[in-house]
A and B are shown apart, each in its own frame.
Chain A
């Protein structure tokens, strides 16, 4: 089974900061990776799919990169509404897996 490890688990940043979250896969998954944002009490929301493709309607300050085993989600200029927990998910094979999440706090 493929495992995903996200880092950091928690980050606190100021509005306007550039934020980067890393997701590492235990084996190569090509570009079969998605990123989701989840706010408290809400369902996850798709941000990025196929490692770097921005979902329709998602602000352009979000971007994804990587392939194989290492991936990053970058928020170029953190906004107040970007608080929440971010998850990566691989869709390379079954069982699907999510990273453990990265909680983003706005200072």
Chain B
């Protein structure tokens, strides 16, 4: 069974850094692209970043580009999100999600339970 478990969230001061992790199990992690999606309290879903199987393609949302870095360790079956220069606008639940494909059409078929990041002084 596919499982995605995020960790690393917590309370951080503005300007601070945090590294999120997503531990994957139940599938061959290296065969799948992965994604981070966030949700501010009471708000909708926002795509943050994606990473392909070999880490060669890593697009970012404009709101995080230059501050966040997505990475993965296929040997450890883990996805990461390094977040720097955090501000209150980054306060959200962060979800990792797996990309599956039907031909050339992708979709996010499995999601973790999320980890809460709170940026506050």
Residue of B46, B60, B105, B109 with highest tally of chain A CB at under 10 A: B105
For B112, the closest partner residue in chain A by CB is A43
Q: Are A43 and B113 in contact (CB under 8 A)?
A: yes
Q: Are B109 and A53 in contact (CB under 8 A)?
A: no
Q: Using Cβ atoms and an 8 Å threshold, which residues of chain A touch B105?
A: 31-32, 49-50, 91
Q: Are B106 and A91 in contact (CB under 8 A)?
A: yes
Q: Are B62 and A46 in contact (CB under 8 A)?
A: no
Q: Is B108 an interface residue (CB 8 A)?
A: yes
- The complex places the Cα of A96 from the Cα of B36 at a distance, in Å, of 11
**Given A55-B109, A89-B108, are A94 and B50 neighbors across the interface (CB < 8 Å)?**
yes
Interface residues of A (CB under 8 A from B): 31-32, 34, 36, 38, 42-46, 49-50, 53, 55, 85, 87, 89, 91, 94-101
Given contacts A46-B108, A95-B47, A97-B47, 18 further A-B contacts (CB under 8 A): A32-B105, A38-B45, A42-B113, A43-B114, A44-B37, A44-B97, A44-B108, A46-B107, A46-B109, A49-B107, A50-B105, A50-B107, A87-B44, A91-B105, A94-B59, A95-B60, A99-B44, A100-B44
Supply 9 A–B pairs (Cβ within 8 Å), ascending by A: A38-B45, A43-B113, A44-B111, A46-B108, A49-B109, A87-B45, A89-B45, A91-B107, A98-B44
